[in-house]
Amino acid sequence: MPKETKERYIQLVTAINHYRFAFHVHDKEEISEAALDSLKHELAGIEEQYPENIVPESPSQRVAGKPLPQFKKVRHEIAQWSFNDVFNEKELHDFDTRVKRFLKDSHQGLMPEYVCELKIDGLKVVLTYEKGLLVRAATRGDGEVGEDVTQNVRTIEAVPLVLTRAVDCIVEGEVWMSASNLEKLNIIRKKEGAEPFANPRNVAAGSIRQLDPKIAASRKLDVFIYDIVAFSEELPSTQTEELNLLRELGFKVNPHFKTVKTVEGIIDFWNTWKTKSKREDYWIDGIVIKVNERQLQEALGYTGKAPRFAVAFKFPAEQATTILENIVLQVGRTGVVTPVAHLRPVSVAGSTVSRATLHNEDEIKRLDVRVGDTVILQKAGDVIPDIVSVVLELRPKKSTPYQFPTHVPECGGDGRIERVPGTAAWRCVDKGSPERARRTLQYFCSKKGLDIEGLGEKVTAQLYDAGLVHNFDDLFTLQEGDFLTLEGFAELSAQKTVAAIHTAAQHVPLYKLITALSIPHVGEETARDIANHFLAIEKIRKATLEELRAINGIGDIVAQALVAWFSDSANTELLDRLLTHIKIVSPAAPKKSVLPLLGMTFVFTGTMEMSREDAAETVRTLGADVSNSVSKKTSYVVAGEDAGSKLDKAKDMGVTVLSEGEFRHLTNVK
């Protein structure tokens, strides 16, 4: 193992052991489970490559933490295993290959079928019954010794105290708290001035480990039982039959399981529940795949820590860890310089990420993020990934704080940058930098701008670098021959692109033009407000500070930016030239008496079946405004799948939340 890899390996072992001890022994989630999974996955990759260098204290060699001293220790009659994790289809195929190769050699080529079950995010418990009576409940602990939590588990109504048959058995399951009960509990805690709980898993673990059973009883915990590890009668021949037997004995079994014959069937089940998991009232962080036939399970057996016949296929994490390899300053369309983290590629929320915004100098200082750091990356839905924090335990010894430079070559001229007074932003001193010009041109042609088909970032950069386009109006003078000089263009594609430019020019909504001009602080929603208020570009050009401030949602900064932009002769000359090429479509003056949602403000969050753009346009036509943030002025928050902090804020502020179905009913959208 190379020296650098070995140092990283030892750091990972130390850090993961620290986080696991805090999580399993003291119920302190110092790092998210998704981020911890990411670290463990990196560790597993190193150990797979260098198995001869695995150290005894590696977290891969044991199951979990030690029991707390406040509880009586219980030695498990049957060793408690944990599942190995897989994170993508390739790793799942590798598991399937290993299973079939082993069975081909040892069982005359018998091929297995698999059972897919939901992986509930809670606390594992082991229940022991004698002659049908519950005699003991224990946590998993370190796999050999757990904690006696019988009194607390007895308070869970879903746990049968007496089985339907007087059998001896040991079963395993997962204790969990519903998301709705957590919400109710946190409302009470806020009223009492206590900190709200972060997630249901932590509450379940903490409740089971309460010394006072009355506290556990008040938490209204639940349980799913999924396995029989010891039985006084003959066990069923398959896992599916075992789940049915558990039901017959009186246990609560999760109803969502499926038997499949192929890896493709597993992937279909995983994809289905990756989407549906948010609809359940309990947390699901993946699926568990088991060989269905008990005979084959026994043949496959166990490794030192996990069964060979089963794995957990985790859902894409919204958090992951990776290494920050560089910080690069990117020049935006308004000349603002944004620090961007260049990352070792990592999968987050189902997509590979190699870049993350660091926002500004103050954010870098707040995070104290440095080149070489291991960082926790977070992504929710379509949101640009953010760096949440730094894993300080893995920081390189010779790291130094990041210093914002004074010059950026992409700014043009001498490359000087300056901090914008009163803000955390830096910008190019030279307003005519080539990089800024490229980005403003790209934005002008983008979907938020004039939405010119065929003029993506690559093509617009080619046009600028070739000297064919300097300003926006130059686009509308391009001929087919100009495109033929660019790499990747043939006669037909050149014709289509020129036609697309002229088509876009014939129908330019006023708000789209205002957005496309890249006026500082003026985004799409602000541009709509301005267009709907003035209805004509000439009125906007002549608007005073007082007239602009009078528009709902327009503050001093935006008003001053607009007046400054239209006061610059270079900008107004550009606009005059542009108006000779395009046809502006002004919004119709609203008929207030027939707009049912007039005066209301909507916020959209999460993934919806209809696009959020279409949903926003729907309410605008009915008189409502659309905002990107939740405030006291918000009338409704429409929440789709994977809704994030906006939904939480709406609940905290008492703003009405609509599902997509309720939104469609309100707006008569089918």
Q: Please identify every residue annotated as catalytic.
A: 119
For the CA atoms of 40, 46, 51, 56, the dihedral, rounded to the nearest 10 degrees, stands at: -50
User: Cα separation of 196 and 50, whole Å?
Assistant: 43
For the CA atoms of 218, 222, 227, 231, the dihedral, rounded to the nearest 10 degrees, stands at: 50
Residue 607 is given by DSSP the state: B
β-pairing, 601-605 vs 636-639, is parallel
Q: How distant, in Å, are the alpha carbons of 263, 264, 455 from that of 260? A: 8, 9, 46
What angle, 0 to 180 degrees and rounded to 10, lies between the N-to-C axes of helices 33-49 and 3-26?
A: 140
**What backbone phi and psi angles, to 5 degrees, belong to 135?**
-115, -20
User: Cα separation of 456 and 434, whole Å?
Assistant: 17
Quick one: the chain helix, strand, coil %, rounded to 5? Answer: 40, 20, 40
Which has the closest alpha carbon to 356: 367, 341, 345?
341
**What backbone phi and psi angles, to 5 degrees, belong to 457?**
-60, -40
The 10 Å CB-count burial string (b at 16+, else e) for 419-439 is: eeeeeebbbbbbeebebbbbb
> Hey, what are 17's tokens?
């052991």
Burial class (CB in 10 A: 0-12, 13-18, 19+), 149: buried
> Hey, what are 131's tokens?
């002659």
> Hey, what are 458's tokens?
């690559």
The length of the chain is 670
- The helix/strand/coil state of 144 is coil
- In the chain, the amino acid numbered 102 is F
User: Cα separation of 201 and 6, whole Å?
Assistant: 34
CB count within 10 Å of CB 52 equals 6
Which has the closest alpha carbon to 261: 287, 296, 291, 236?
291
Which has the closest alpha carbon to 20: 490, 536, 393, 526?
393
Question: Residues 520, 534: contact at Cβ < 8 Å?
Answer: no
From its phi and psi, is residue 383 left (phi > 0), alpha (psi between -120 and 50) or beta?
beta
Which has the closest alpha carbon to 86: 323, 311, 395, 342?
311
User: Cα separation of 146 and 56, whole Å?
Assistant: 21
- In the chain, the amino acid numbered 38 is S
Question: Residues 82, 20: contact at Cβ < 8 Å?
Answer: no
- The helix/strand/coil state of 159 is coil
**What backbone phi and psi angles, to 5 degrees, belong to 470?**
-110, -40
Question: Residues 60, 45: contact at Cβ < 8 Å?
Answer: no
Residue identified by tokens 């790499």 is: 487
